[in-house]
A and B are shown apart, each in its own frame.
Chain A
């Protein structure tokens, strides 16, 4: 079965880089996601990476995938106060029928 783990909390200063880590167990996932949940809001797909990629860059976001260690990370460069949110690592379930979410990492950006 799928199980996705993350550290619960990260605090960074505005302008610094943030790195949010995730470990997953389902090696058959074709892709992995990062979702963002702002306070009181729904879940927004931030970015995704296909499993045949090691890295994906999208503006301030860099996703790194280590398939051997089943480790996924999200790096946010030049972190802004608007980046304060909960970030969920996630993977699709069997048959793409569902998404399995990690525990979520709450990112606090200190001005």
Chain B
């Protein structure tokens, strides 16, 4: 069964450093998403991406965040200057089209900012 993959599974970085989280969505999917889950809290939407541009973003997704689909298969989330409060599990998701009821989630990348 096709699945969304994410790398790395765990990333440790120092405050102020840039990190790039990588995702490979399911190959025929067109809509891509990033979510985050701070430990013990709910899963929060960050951004959705379609046709090489952001289609929606949350208040959390400020100027330090950016997304890119550089090569038609990878979907990346960049955090320019990490803060302690960016420590969380980051989930990538994809779905085929707007009417599809299911978003397929990756296993997540645990980001720890020290």
A interface with B by C-beta (< 8 Å)? 31, 33, 35, 41-45, 48, 88, 92-93, 95-104
Contacts and interface: CB of A to CB of B under 8 A. Distances in A.
A42 B42 contact: no
A102 B42 CA distance: 6
Contacts of B91: 42-43
Interface residues of B, number: 25
B99 interface: yes
Given A41-B108, A95-B98, 19 more contacts: A31-B101, A42-B4, A42-B106, A43-B43, A45-B102, A48-B101, A88-B43, A93-B56, A96-B98, A97-B31, A97-B48, A97-B55, A98-B45, A98-B56, A99-B93, A100-B45, A101-B35, A101-B44, A104-B42
A99 B43 CA distance: 9
Interface of B: 4, 31, 33, 35, 41-45, 48, 55-56, 91, 93, 98-108
A90 B53 CA distance: 25
A43 B55 CA distance: 22
B105 to A, nearest CB: 4
Given A42-B91, A42-B105, A101 B43 contact: yes
Contacts of B105: 35, 42-44
A45 B105 CA distance: 9
B104 to A, nearest CB: 8
Nearest first, the 7 closest Cβ-Cβ pairs linking A and B are A43-B105, A42-B107, A101-B43, A98-B45, A97-B56, A42-B105, A96-B98
A38 to B, nearest CB: 10
Nearest to B110: A40
A99 B56 contact: no
B45 A48 contact: no
